[in-house]
Chains A and B, each alone.
Chain A
Amino acid sequence: MSSDVIMVIVVGTALAFDFTNGFHDTANVVATSISTGAARPQVAIGVASLLNFVGAFISISVAATVANDVVNAAVITPTIVFAGLIGAIAWNLITWWFGLPSSSSHALIGGVVGSAVAAVGFDAVLAEGLVGKVLIPAVVAPVVAFIVAGLGIGIAYRIVGRQRPGPVTRGFRYGQIVSGGLLALAHGTNDAQKTMGVITLALIANGTLAANADPPFWVIASAATAIALGTYFGGWRIIRTTGSRIIKMDAAQGFSAQGAGATVILASTHFGFPLSTTHVINGGVMGAGAAKRVSAVRWGVAGNIVVAWLLTLPAAAAIGAATYGLTRIFGTGALGPVLVTLMALGLVAVMFSKRSQQGAPVPAS
Chain B
Amino acid sequence: MIATILQTTDLLETVVASLVAGVGVTTAFSTAIWGGTRFVDLSRGGRPLAAGAAAAVGALALALTLAAVVFGIVVMTSK
Question: Could you list which residues of chain A lie within 8 angstroms of chain B, going by C-beta atoms?
Answer: 58-59, 61, 127-128, 131-133, 136-137, 140-141, 144-145, 147-149, 151-153, 155-156, 159-160, 163-164, 167-168, 171-172, 175, 178, 182, 185, 189, 252, 255-256, 259-260, 263-264, 266-273
Contacts and interface: CB of A to CB of B under 8 A. Distances in A.
A131 B38 CA distance: 50
Contacts of B4: 128, 132
Contact of A128 (B5, B10, B18): B5
B76 A270 contact: yes
A256 B23 CA distance: 8
For the residues of A in contact with B, the DSSP-based class is helix
A263 B73 contact: no
Contacts of A133: 7
Interface string B1-32: 00011110011011101110111011101111
A129 B26 CA distance: 33
Contacts of B17: 263, 267, 270
Given A59-B76, A156-B27, A256-B26, A167 B36 contact: yes
Contact of A266 (B11, B31, B72): B72
B69 interface: yes
Interface string B45-79: 00000000000000000000100010011011101
B37 A163 contact: yes
A155 B7 contact: no
Given A155-B27, A263-B21, A189 B13 contact: no
Contacts of B37: 160, 163-164, 167-168, 171
Interface residues of B, number: 37
A159 B27 contact: yes
A47 B13 CA distance: 30
Given A144-B18, A159-B30, A59 B5 contact: no
B18 A263 contact: yes
A171 B14 contact: no
Given A148-B19, A189-B76, A131 B14 contact: no
Contacts of A136: 6-7, 11
Given A147-B19, A163-B37, A171-B37, 19 more contacts: A58-B73, A128-B4, A128-B5, A131-B5, A131-B6, A144-B14, A144-B15, A148-B18, A148-B22, A155-B26, A164-B37, A167-B40, A182-B72, A255-B26, A266-B72, A266-B76, A267-B17, A268-B14, A271-B14
A195 to B, nearest CB: 19
A160 B34 contact: yes
Contacts of B36: 167, 171
A237 to B, nearest CB: 30
Contacts of B77: 58-59
Nearest to A60: B79
A219 to B, nearest CB: 18
Contacts of A185: 73
A264 B13 contact: no
Contacts of A59: 76-77, 79
A214 to B, nearest CB: 12
Contacts of B19: 144, 147-148, 151
A264 B33 contact: no
A159 B30 CA distance: 6
A155 B33 CA distance: 13
A65 to B, nearest CB: 10
24 contacts: A59-B76, A127-B5, A128-B5, A137-B14, A140-B15, A144-B15, A144-B18, A147-B19, A152-B27, A156-B26, A156-B29, A156-B30, A159-B34, A160-B37, A164-B37, A189-B76, A256-B26, A264-B18, A268-B14, A270-B79, A271-B11, A272-B10, A273-B10, A273-B14
